[in-house]
Amino acid sequence: MYNVYRSSPIKLEILQARGFHPNYHTHFFNSPVGDKYTMIYDVGYKVHYDNQVQIVQLDNVA
């Protein structure tokens, strides 16, 4: 999903329909600008207020 949606948010419902479960993660990451990401190894996500999910890769978090 990261390869498809890396530049734009995606609805949480779409991810859950594809088997995503938000309780399964490896760690949390706080970016230098204060954003908190839930990480699954080197890929993470941040849930926005409108149930949109931004998917990021650790190398690209700033």
* Residue 17: C-alpha distances to residues 12, 13, 44 (Å): 9, 6, 18
User: Amino acid letter at 62?
Assistant: A
Look up residue 43 and give its amino acid.
V
Quote the CA–CA distance of 38 and 56 in Å, as a whole number: 10
**Which amino acid is located at 15 in the chain?**
L
Where are the domains positioned within the chain? 2-60
Query: Burial level of 30, CB count in 10 A (0-12/13-18/19+)?
Result: exposed
pLDDT higher than 60, residue 2: no
Q: Give the closest residue to 26 by CA, choosing from 37, 41, 15.
A: 41
Q: Is the pLDDT of residue 1 over 90?
A: no
- For position 49, what pLDDT does the model report? 84
pLDDT in tens, 6-61: 567 889 888 889 888 888 899 999 988 888 999 988 888 898 888 898 888 877 55
Q: What is the pLDDT of residue 36?
A: 92
